[in-house]
Amino acid sequence: MPEPVNATAAALLGLLRDGPASGYDLYQRAASELGDFWTVTRSQVYRELTALAERGLVTTGEAGARARRDVALTDEGARAFADWLASDPVGEVVRIPLLLRLAFADALPEARLRDMVAAARAAHAARLVEYEEVERAAQEAGAGDRDLVTLRFGLRYERAVLAWLDEDVRRL
């Protein structure tokens, strides 16, 4: 039984199924394709890639232009990915700075609270619009439910947050 890989490393392996890529590529793709429900930083990408290479789960090619080094999935890496994919999803994390402040709302000046809420509302509304546009574009391109399921989570999440802001927070 080999050591299991962590979720972030697994995500990189998953992206590498589409073919070799540089750390830079992987960071870009992770941010845009997974960023809404799984944060990854650049530092992390390179650290994980180093560790994965040491374990033989990826191979590192020659340095090309601008010191670019493509990494590629090995068979062992593909196996490690499959193992992770079937493993139990644990470790859901939700950390909401606005909520933490609201928990101490008794000491928060009214006006300041109103500003914060307004800013949060604007940010979430903008994200909702963005998601809706992505959904429309995807549907026009003929995407199936399988491709849209993570997006739909985002849609529901943003709508729930907006409803909460408008109906529950507003009343304070």
* Residue ranges in contact with DNA by CB under 7 A: 6-8, 22-25, 28, 39-44, 46-48, 50-51, 65-69, 91, 93, 95
Question: Of the candidates 78, 70, 72, which has an alpha carbon nearest to the alpha carbon of residue 10?
Answer: 78
Question: Of the candidates 127, 149, 126, 123, which has an alpha carbon nearest to the alpha carbon of residue 138?
Answer: 149
Q: CB-wise, 24 or 164, nearer to DNA?
A: 24
Q: Applying CB under 8 A, which part among 4-12, 53-61, 63-71, 132-140 lies near its own copies?
A: 4-12
State how far the Cα of 44 lies from the Cα of 61, in Å rounded to an integer.
Answer: 20
* Three-class SS state of 151: helix
**Size of site (CB under 8 A) for its own copies:** 59
List CB contacts of 38: < 8 A, sequence separation 6 or more. Answer: 7, 8, 11, 30
* Three-class SS state of 34: helix
Q: CB-wise, 60 or 117, nearer to DNA?
A: 60
**Type of residue found at 33:** E
Select from 79, 112, 114, 136 the one that contacts its own copies (CB under 8 A). 112
Q: Applying CB under 8 A, which part among 20-28, 52-60, 128-136, 143-151 lies near its own copies?
A: 143-151
Question: Of the candidates 87, 168, 54, which has an alpha carbon nearest to the alpha carbon of residue 121?
Answer: 168
- Contacting positions for its own copies (CB under 8 A): 7, 10-11, 14, 17, 33-34, 36-39, 81-82, 85-86, 88-109, 112, 116, 119-120, 145-146, 148-150, 152-153, 156-157, 159-161, 163-164, 168-169, 171-172
